[in-house]
Amino acid sequence: MQVFGLLGNPVEHSLSPPMHEAAYDALGMDARYVTFEPAPEDLAAAVEGARALGVAGLNVTIPFKRDVLELVDPDPLAERIGAVNAIDLPEMRGYNTDAVGAVRALREHGVDCSGTAVVVGAGGAGRAVAFGLADEGMAVRVANRTAERAEELSADVGKAATAHPLDALPDLLADADVLVNCTSVGMEEDRSPVPAGALHPDLAVLDAVYTPPETRLLRDAADAGADTVDGAWMLLYQGVAAFERWTGREAPVGAMNDALRSGL
């Protein structure tokens, strides 16, 4: 039996276990997906313990995506982003599939990842999305509440990115092609981080928030005639990328998506 898992704290509400186990069932694999919830001071021991037990791959979630960098050999993209969310345990190699997940979520919805993207938020998700879109050749405008974090991210991404305050969003979006919300705004309240009047029909809007599936931002974007992509698609495709890296098999995307949507 192959064993894969999730490393984080907390993990009890994660949708990764049913999503990955649906993939194993669909392909007839003898595999299981388990969870590890160590205290921060026990992170290294948890990773080594999972490896000693023969666990083949680990997803990594909050609050360990940055700390685990010191324990693995990150691939170039993960090193640039400064975060790992998937580990090949036999090789102790770390990857970041959040960037891949965001780009694929957009592409699978017919979005041409070219032109200009506005990324709202400069935290972990914002970093992954900014690097992912810049690597696709997009000009990335990072808007964040704290100017210093936006400036740090844009400097890390390089010449493709610029930093801006949140109040610049109407001007930034006027000629933008893609908007990605990477903040938590909209998760617990019916609020949007983006003024509704700044949205327009030529935009594609991805909200990384996936609970609720239809956020205030996505409703406002649909009303403005923009194309919308909910955050569960990003969650799905980062999981798909991890599954395919660990197993070398094409992921049963439909089965994984059905399990994810049922969990939501």
Task: List the CATH number of the domain containing 42.
Answer: 3.40.50.10860
Arithmetic mean of pLDDT, 143-158: 96
19: left (phi over 0), alpha (psi -120 to 50) or beta: alpha
Whether residues 119 and 212 fall in one domain:
yes
- Same domain for 213 and 114? yes
What's the pLDDT band for 26 if we cut at 50, 70, 90? Answer: very high
Host domain of residue 39: 2-95+233-263
The pLDDT assigned to 55 comes to 97
- What residue ranges in the chain does DSSP mark as E strands? 2-7, 31-36, 57-60, 73-74, 86-88, 93-95, 116-120, 139-144, 161-165, 178-181, 204-207, 227-229
Question: Does 81 share its domain with 139?
Answer: no
3-state secondary structure of 249: coil
Q: Helix, strand, or coil here: 2?
A: strand
Q: Give dist(CA 200, CA 221) in Å, integer.
A: 7
pLDDT > 90: percent of the chain: 96
Render 76-131 in DSSP notation, one character per residue. Answer: HHHHHHT---EEETTTTEEE-HHHHHHHHHHHTTT----SEEEEE--SHHHHHHHH
* Rounded distance between C-alpha atoms, residue 210 and residue 98, angstroms: 14
Q: Please determine, for residue 134, whether its predicted confidence score (pLDDT) is greater than 90.
A: yes
CA pair distance 230, 215, nearest whole angstrom:
8
Q: What is the mean pLDDT of the chain?
A: 96
Task: Give the CATH number, domain containing residue 132.
Answer: 3.40.50.720
pLDDT tens digits for 137-148?
Answer: 999 999 999 999
CB neighbourhood size of 98 (10 A):
29
Neighbours of 195 (CB within 10 A): 13
Same structural domain, 164 and 191: yes
Query: Is the domain of 14 the same as that of 127?
Result: no
CB-count burial class (<10 Å; 0-12, 13-18, 19+) for 212: middle
Pairing of strands 139-144, 204-207: unpaired
Confidence at residue 188, expressed as pLDDT on a 0 to 100 scale: 84
- pLDDT value at position 218? 98
Number of domains in the chain: 2
For residues 4 and 57, is the Cβ–Cβ distance under 8 A? yes
Using 50, 70 and 90 to split pLDDT, how confident is the model at 264?
confident
pLDDT digits (tens, 9 = 90+) for 158-188: 999 999 999 999 999 999 999 999 999 998 8
Q: Do 41 and 12 meet the contact criterion of CB atoms below 8 Å apart? A: no
d(CA 148, CA 176): 23
- Region 238-255 average pLDDT: 97
Q: What is the mean pLDDT of residues 117-121?
A: 98
Residues 256 and 194 in one domain: no
Tell me the C-alpha distance between 142 and 85, whole Å.
22
Task: Name the residues annotated as catalytic.
Answer: 65
Q: What angle do CA 182, 185, 190 make, to 5 degrees?
A: 140
pLDDT at 92: 97
pLDDT at 197 over 90: yes
Kindly state whether residues 128 and 114 are assigned to the same domain.
yes
Residue 16 has what pLDDT? 96
Are 250 and 188 in a shared domain? no
Same domain, 91 and 115: no
Q: What Rg value do the Cα atoms of the chain yield, rounded?
A: 18
